[in-house]
Amino acid sequence: MKQETKCLHSGYEPQNGEPRQLPIYQSTTWKYATSDEMGKLFDLEASGYFYTRLQNPTNDTVAAKIADLEGGVAAMLTSSGQAANFFALFNICETGSHIVASSAIYGGTYNLLGTTMKKMGIEVTFVDQTLTEEELAKAFKPNTRAVFGETITNPTVSVLDIEKFARLAHSHGVPLVVDNTFATPINCQPIKWGADIVTHSTTKYMDGHAVAVGGAIVDSGNFDWMAHAEKYPGLTTPDESYHGIVYAEKFGKLGYITKATSQLMRDLGSIQSPQNAFYLMNGLESLHVRVERHCSNALAIAKFLKENDKVAWVCYPNLEGDEYYELAKKYLPNGSCGVLAFGIKGGREKSIEFMDSLKLCTIATHVADAKTCLLHPASHTHRQMTEEQLIEAGVAPDLIRLSVGIENVDDLIDDLKQAFEKI
Ligand SMILES: *Cc1c(COP(=O)(O)O)cnc(C)c1O
């Protein structure tokens, strides 16, 4: 099946007389006839459902669709994108580990790595993702366990050179984890370019309608944990809490996701509710149609802004002349996303004045949603950062993040025009 068809048919194949739409298994628990049957589930000796904190059929069906769309072997849903990135990394890192991450990543992930995971004794080195391989190699340490980046960064819409980062990670014997939230598997499948693990905030385009916070982790099954066994004891040595199971041995290519569900979810509990997974399933069905419209609208608006003499600068990877145009041509030939960043002449004050004059485009702490919205990262999402950190993350103080929706583009441009006239 092609991606468009997978959006509709992958994951859930109802049999004769079964519901056409995925049922919501709104149940915390499952019933078994004998205690022996249930015991086998707890020992991971048999597969089956017993408690929704670990697994739920609605969630698993949606995860299977996402795995198929990304070209992975297994996937799991999490309660949020934050939980997805935390679980994806914590599944292979522990106290004393080190991570190399792009400094241009989403502010929430920057805080997760730089503040909270640091408190757990996991150290991070943030790197400028545009540096050469030789320069980037200097960031690696003997205790490096993962490399992390975003296909398209939020909010600066920089494109990650996935092949470059995959080569770097693999030459240091560690996996590349890519957050593919903005590109979605419709526009880019990072696994095809060498990424080992892909994460998502499904809150964004996948859900697409701003109704449910969620996340997903997809494993390519390609990273050979046993070949680097000394680095990943969690996957390659016995888990005493499961009678000495060695995940990478017992479950092979499914070991990474099995550990994350049966150990991390068991202990940390950040499940997506089955109800939210159902909303996500509906969002995924139209993902390919929406993403196309988001991209064509965003490109038209990027061109409009570029021509406007009140605009200081515009970043949109598919705009000719953009710093990331060549990388976008390679990794995102059909379009990147609906998000673009721009600055207004007159800086911070004029930007705020402009935003407050908009009528159709709304100010919202959201992005990648059917309705056009925008925010000013320096005063919203990134407000905890110092000026220095803002500059390191490439977030100019005048940066406006515009998330272009799927409205008629002429209506959106009219709204932008009237707001420009007021400043
Ligand atoms: C929003 C976002 C996240 C965090 O996701 P939540 O669902 O809000 O927890 C992570 N990464 C990227 C790229 C995002 O845009």
The ligand 1 site (C-beta within 6 Å) comprises 80-82, 85, 106, 108-109, 150, 154, 179, 181, 201, 203-204, 213, 215
Residue with tokens 């996340």: 215
Q: For ligand 1, atom 7, which residue shows the shortest CA distance?
A: 81
At position 92, the amino acid (one-letter code) is I
Q: What pLDDT score was predicted for residue 388?
A: 81
Q: Which of 82, 202, 213, 403 to mutate to test the pocket of ligand 1 (most atoms within 8 A of CB)?
A: 82
Average pLDDT rounded to a whole number, residues 299-318: 97
Q: Does the structure show a pLDDT above 80 at 382?
A: no
- Among protein residues, the one whose CA lies closest to atom 8 of ligand 1: 81
Q: How far is the CA of 345 from the centre of ligand 1 (A)?
A: 29
Q: 383 pLDDT band (50/70/90 cuts)?
A: confident
State yes or no: pLDDT of 394 exceeds 80: no
Residue 117 contacts residue 282 (beta carbons within 8 Å): no
For residue 119, name the pLDDT band (cuts at 50, 70, 90): very high
In 261-363, at which residue ranges do the beta strands (DSSP E only) sit? 311-315, 339-344, 362-363
Distance 214 CA to ligand 1 centre (A): 9
pLDDT in tens, 164-182: 999 999 999 999 999 999 9
| Structure-token match 């919205």, residue found | 373
Ligand 1 atom at shortest distance from the alpha carbon of 153: 13
Contact 182, 336 (CB under 8 A): yes
Name which residue sits closest to atom 6 of ligand 1, judged by CA. 81
Query: Quick one: DSSP state of residue 78?
Result: E
- Of all atoms in ligand 1, which is nearest to the CA of residue 215? 7
Ligand 1 atom with least separation from CA of 213: 7
pLDDT digits (tens, 9 = 90+) for 83-98: 999 999 999 999 999 9
Under DSSP, the state recorded for 154 is: T
* Predicted local distance difference test score (pLDDT) of residue 121: 98
Tell how far CA 128 is from the center of its chain: 19
Give pLDDT, residue 342: 94
Residue nearest to atom 1 of ligand 1 (CA): 201
Among 35-39, 139-143, 259-263, 302-306, the least confident range? 35-39
What residues have CB less than 8 Å from 126, skipping those under 6 apart? 101, 102, 103, 110, 113, 114, 392
42 — pLDDT class (breaks 50, 70, 90): confident
Q: Which of 2, 52, 48, 61 is nearest to 28 (CA)?
A: 52
Per DSSP, helices labelled H in 332-392 are 347-357, 387-392
Looking at the predicted structure, is the pLDDT value of residue 142 above 80?
Answer: yes
Give distance in angstroms: CA of 416 to centre of ligand 1.
Answer: 26
Q: Which of 157, 178, 181 to mutate to test the pocket of ligand 1 (most atoms within 8 A of CB)?
A: 181
- Ranges 199-208, 226-235, 316-325, 347-356: which has the least confidence: 347-356
Q: In angstroms, rounded to a whole number, what is the distance separating the alpha carbons of residues 293 and 299? A: 10
3-state secondary structure string across 24-61: CCCCCECCCCCHHHHHHHHCCCCCCCCECCCCCHHHHH
From the CB of residue 250, how many other CB atoms can be counted at a distance below 10 Å?
15
Two structure tokens written together for 194: 């060498």
Residue 376 has pLDDT above 90, yes or no: no
Q: How many CB atoms lie within 10 A of CB 148?
A: 25
Distances (CA, A) of 290 to 7, 216, 275, 373: 12, 20, 22, 16
Tell me, what DSSP letter sits at residue 160? P
105 CA → ligand 1 middle, Å: 10
Average pLDDT of the segment spanning 134-157: 97
Q: What does the pLDDT average to over 399-411?
A: 96
For ligand 1, atom 4, name the residue with the nearest CA. 81
| pLDDT tens-digit readout, 324-352 | 999 999 999 999 999 999 999 988 888 88
User: What pLDDT score was predicted for residue 92?
Assistant: 98
Angstrom distance (rounded) from CA 307 to CA 336:
21
C-beta separation of 253 from 35 below 8 A: no
151 has a pLDDT exceeding 90: yes
CA distance 132 to 203: 33
Burial of 229 (0-12, 13-18, 19+ CB in 10 A): middle
